Amino acid sequence: MGKTIDRETIAELEKAGVDASGELGEYHTVVTAGPIFSSVISLKVKGQVHHEGYWFLEVEPEQRVG
């Protein structure tokens, strides 16, 4: 499942030999909040999918009320 990239996560990635910046294609990130956003994007995790040797996390926007 997805993880917040914090110091602990970076240490885990580096210990496993993964480029912590993801520049070698190890992972992709999604930004859900920031100063240029008019509101936070809430995502609902649908599940994990394995396809052609790669794992993907399926997400969808949570329904907004109001």
Structure tokens at 47: 């599940």
Kindly state the average pLDDT of the residues 31-59.
89
**Of 3 and 35, the one with more pLDDT:** 35
Residue 38 — very low, low, confident or very high, per pLDDT cuts 50/70/90? very high
- Range of the structural domain that residue 20 is part of: 7-61
Measured between alpha carbons, how far apart are the two ends of the chain, in Å? 29
Residue 54 lies in a domain: yes
Task: Check residue 51 and report its DSSP letter.
Answer: E
Number of alpha carbons in the 13 Å side-chain half-sphere of residue 33: 5
Q: Phi-psi bin for 36: left (phi > 0), alpha (psi -120 to 50), beta?
A: alpha
Residue 35 lies in a domain: yes
Residue 12 lies in a domain: yes
Residue 15 lies in a domain: yes
Residue 40 lies in a domain: yes
Q: Is the pLDDT of residue 35 over 90?
A: yes
3-32 tens-digit pLDDT:
788 899 889 888 988 887 777 777 777 888
Interatomic CA distance for residues 26 and 55, integer angstroms: 10
Residue 66 lies in a domain: no
pTM equals 0.52
